[in-house]
């Protein structure tokens, strides 16, 4: 059986195909803003083509993410926490919690044996867009995200930005640049601010376990953020390869079950 999961986020769309419970193809593309419905369909067609399949070969397609309802050809939609939980348990069957860090939203979902999930914690409005902040600052600093991740392993030399609101963090960073502060120091300060906010979300409802926490989402690919969050939280996160496809994997698994 072939199933498809499509995760439509603020910045990117992820499409993943499962064939007989194994990943057979995947791809990521830009969401396209108001045109994300067409963008989702185009990316879906590209993935099918790369897998040498037609739409009729796919038994079921399930969409998730903030733009899930724009995937008009999906058989049904699921909310992000449900897809995240399903993916986490596939990645690590003994998982007790999953954290998804995307461009816009951050979610922490405790996993229960009874129904798979319990009450999730979400970022507050002041913490929305942490992933977008990292991408924006990489452009302003004329650095790649990998560059930022590499230099953020060094001490920030006392340079800080606001860690309570991303708008103020951005303004502080721009002011530092205007003062000719080194790009590496500014990058370190941004990473630290992001880590502080993420750690606060982790502890929003309850103290998280130190083991068995799966980390997914696009920001999970940023080595500096993951390293900083491990140090600050004390959690030894499980970070899978292709962590950005967590939501799409969960959606494809749910498609196979229904």
Enter the pTM of the model.
0.91
Q: Do 93-237 and 2-80+246-257 fall under one CATH topology?
A: yes
Beta bridge partners of 240: none
Please, what CATH class does the domain formed by 93-237 belong to?
alpha beta
Break the chain into its structural domains and give their ranges: 2-80+246-257, 93-237
Q: In CATH, what number does 2-80+246-257 get?
A: 3.30.420.40
- Average pLDDT per block of 10 residues along the chain, 258 residues long: 96 96 95 89 96 96 96 96 96 95 91 66 74 91 86 64 87 93 91 92 80 95 93 95 97 95
Q: In the Cβ-directed half-sphere of 42, how many Cα atoms lie within 13 Å?
A: 11
Contacts of 232 (CB under 8 A, 6+ apart): 195, 196, 199
> Which of 244, 204, 200 has its CA nearest to residue 110?
204
Cα 233 vs. chain centroid, distance in angstroms? 18
Question: What is residue 70's predicted lDDT score, i.e. its pLDDT?
Answer: 95
> Cα-Cα-Cα-Cα dihedral of 185, 190, 191, 196, to 10°?
130
- By the 10 Å C-beta count (0-12 exposed, 13-18 middle, 19+ buried), 252 is classed as buried
């Amino acid at each position: 059986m072939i199933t498809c999961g499509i995760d439509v986020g603020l910045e990117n769309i992820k499409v993943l195909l499962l064939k007989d419970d194994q990943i057979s193809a995947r791809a990521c593309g830009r969401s396209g803003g108001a045109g994300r419905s067409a963008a989702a369909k185009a990316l879906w067609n590209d993935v099918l083509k790369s897998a040498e399949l037609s739409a009729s070969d796919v038994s079921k397609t399930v969409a998730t993410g903030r733009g899930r309802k724009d995937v008009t050809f999906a058989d049904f939609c699921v909310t992000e926490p449900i897809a995240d939980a399903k993916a986490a348990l596939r990645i690590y069957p003994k998982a007790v919690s999953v954290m998804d860090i995307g461009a816009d939203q951050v979610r922490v979902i405790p996993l229960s044996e009874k129904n798979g999930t319990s009450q999730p914690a979400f970022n507050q409005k002041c913490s929305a867009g942490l992933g977008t902040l990292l991408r924006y600052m990489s452009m302003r600093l004329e650095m790649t995200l990998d560059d930022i991740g590499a230099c953020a392993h060094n001490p920030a030399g006392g340079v800080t930005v606001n860690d309570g609101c991303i708008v103020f963090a951005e303004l502080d960073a721009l002011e530092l640049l205007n003062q000719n502060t080194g790009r590496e120091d500014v990058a370190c300060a941004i990473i630290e601010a992001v880590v502080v906010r993420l750690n606060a979300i982790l502890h929003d409802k309850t103290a998280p376990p130190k083991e068995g926490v799966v980390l997914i989402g696009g920001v999970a690919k940023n080595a500096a953020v993951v390293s900083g969050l491990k140090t600050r939280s004390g959690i030894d996160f499980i970070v899978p390869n292709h962590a950005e496809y967590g939501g799409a994997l969960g959606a494809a698994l749910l498609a196979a079950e229904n």
